[in-house]
Structure 1
Amino acid sequence: MFSESIKITKMHGNGNDFVLVDEFEKEIVPEKMKPDFVRAVCHRRFGVGADGTLFVQPSIVADARFRYFNNDGSEAEMCGNGIRCFSRFVVEEGYVKGEVVKVETLVGILELEVDEDGWWVKVDMGEVKTKKEEIPANREVWGLEKTINNHKFVLYAVNSGVPHVVTFVDDLDFNIIEPAKIIRYDDTFPQGTNVNFAKVLSEDEITIRTYERGVENETLSCGTGSVAVAFVANKLGLASNHVKVITKGGLLKVDVKGNKAYMTGNANRVFDGFINLKELRFD
């Protein structure tokens, strides 16, 4: 077992909240224990409570290495809101000097610009992938119609760091959980997918709701989901290259340039403290 207490930082990006563990100088949670630790610490009744856990680690190819685990203990390739929080932390702690941070992730090295005045962070999200093998999906999902409870949804799938399905609706005032789960677990997606329901307000503004794989519920905000929605809307001619994406937790700005996307949003550091491991429920 590891130490009896662990220092953690609670952060969020537009209400998408995280427990951050600083392993920049040494490993705190043994690798084999990370999934169990994440499930315990993210529990909203018996732990700290969070959508996921961030681990800050050293990197030999970038300024720092980003690890992200969903609250079910599964490791994800990327988290848009999480990487903004991560970047604020490494700048604030002095691990990185200057406004530009290069971060190693499972999808490659990403470059971020950190504005310490208000802690707004711009992320170069790289290329948004649309080929079925890159999503991954076992068939093309671009304008694919799917009927759920007598309602037709038109689906568009991309990978904006993790798999996402986007569908546009006229009204977001409905229970998204049931249709989202059906799409999330559809056999079309061998690794599952995140699901976004979007309403276009204008060519410059879209409001969305996101069901996240790994959290298995709606979250207040999803960075990669916001990028996916803005990208798809742009390619369909529904939105401009510069889009404000309104989530339940707040505002994100997404710029689309060709097949690349850039996301700008805030990063909030709520508190620092210690958790007593013997008080967590590991079950």
Structure 2
Amino acid sequence: MSLHTFYKYQGAGNDFIIIDNRDLKFTENNPQKIAQLCDRRFGIGADGLMLLQSSKGSDFEMVYYNADGNIGSMCGNGGRCIVAFAKDQGIISGNTTFLAVDGIHDASIDQAGTWVSLKMNDVNNIDTDGDAYVLDTGSPHYVKIVSHLETLDVATEGASIRNQDTYRKAGINVNFTSPEDNGYFVRTFERGVEDETLACGTGVTAVALAMAKHNQQQGDIETPIRALGGNLLIRFHANNNHYSNIFLEGPAKFVFKGTIDLS
């Protein structure tokens, strides 16, 4: 029997399995096994799995797996959740620097340990595909403005775009958005999950930047975004087609912990 303690966290409904792997006892490099852990009927259930590991140049390293069991690109809400986990474990206090697949990230967490601000990497270009925008915010994203977003079949429409010849091999996350109050409503189809998720951190970041380009906004910008699982805030500076000082902010909460046999 090979028992491992796991923790479940969620950020705006984006949920993750987190394992403290500083002792490197979790050696599972089996996509099928990780996919089973993320399965909502035969496993713990999650949008992804993260390992917190030691890092010489920062407070910790975040290793992220998609729900299909494959190693993933940067996950914004996952990054915020692992910061909350690190605080709960006493690894960090209020501010932190950690290593992810796309490099070093700075983050901060409030005293209550539930609101996390995560600095994302700069974005130096936003391309177009017809009337949609395409950019990389740590993961590749497709952003399309639509009407009647509440009733849109995101799973079907998102899968259709994600599997176009242009995007099929590498995959792309597909975000549909519409203006709402002083911000935007966003629904996302995520590659690796291959379905709609309740929120996507790199996705809402991509939407905020794309809408700044769409509206020809410049300077310091704050964009509130509502996802199905909760509210998020993106702050950044726009200078022509260059976007810097990008922060993804929102809730990150502990759900439960348990043990599972991985033998």
Moved more, 181-190 or 260-269: 181-190
Distance 1:238 1:251 in 2: 24
Contact 2:199–2:230 (CA under 8 A) maintained in structure 1 = yes
Residue 245 of structure 1 pairs with residue 222 of structure 2: no
Question: Which consecutive unaligned segments of at least 5 residues does structure 1 have?
Answer: 132-140, 146-153, 279-283
Q: Deviations over 1:68-125 (max 9, x none)?
A: 10110111121011011100111221112x3111010111100001113251000111
Determine which of 27, 32, 39 is the counterpart of 2:29. 32
Residue aligning to 1:257: 237
Contact 2:198–2:227 (CA under 8 A) maintained in structure 1 = yes
Equivalent positions of 1:32-181 (< 5 A) are 32-33=29-30, 35-96=31-92, 98-130=93-125, 141-142=127-128, 144-145=129-130, 154-172=131-149, 173-181=151-159
Q: Deviations over 1:9-42 (max 9, x none)?
A: 0111011111111102x11221533x23311111
Distance 1:29 1:117 in 2: 30
Distance 2:137 2:69 in 1: 21
Residue aligning to 1:150: none
Instruction: Return the letter of the residue paired with 1:252.
Output: L
Instruction: Give the CA RMSD over aligned residues.
Output: 1.7
Query: 1:274 offset after TM fit, Å?
Result: 0.6
Any idea what SS the aligned residue of 2:24 has?
A: coil
Any idea what SS the aligned residue of 1:182 has?
A: helix
Residue aligning to 1:209: 187
Residue aligning to 1:12: 10
Distance 2:156 2:29 in 1: 33
Distance 1:206 1:126 in 2: 22
Determine which of 200, 211, 232 is the counterpart of 1:222. 200
Question: Which consecutive unaligned segments of at least 5 residues does structure 2 have?
Answer: none
Residue 195 of structure 1 pairs with residue 174 of structure 2: yes
Any idea what SS the aligned residue of 2:121 has?
A: strand
Query: 1:126 offset after TM fit, Å?
Result: 1.8
| Over 3 Å off, 4+ runs | none
Distance 1:114 1:37 in 2: 32
Contact 2:36–2:42 (CA under 8 A) maintained in structure 1 = yes
Residue aligning to 2:214: 236
TM-score, scaled relative to structure 2:
0.91
Instruction: Return the letter of the residue paired with 2:94.
Output: E
Any idea what SS the aligned residue of 1:241 has?
A: strand
TM-score, scaled relative to structure 1:
0.85
Distance 2:62 2:34 in 1: 15
Distance 1:17 1:194 in 2: 17
Contact 1:129–1:159 (CA under 8 A) maintained in structure 2 = no
Instruction: Return the letter of the residue paired with 2:44.
Output: V
Determine which of 255, 260, 263 is the counterpart of 1:275. 260
Any idea what SS the aligned residue of 1:47 has?
A: coil
Percent identity among equivalent residues?
A: 34
Instruction: Return the letter of the residue paired with 1:84.
Output: R
Instruction: Return the letter of the residue paired with 1:271.
Output: F
Query: 1:265 offset after TM fit, Å?
Result: 0.6
Contact 2:34–2:69 (CA under 8 A) maintained in structure 1 = yes
Distance 2:7 2:216 in 1: 39
Residue aligning to 1:137: none
Q: Deviations over 1:133-191 (max 9, x none)?
A: xxxxxxxx41x22xxxxxxxx21100011000000012202212222112112222341
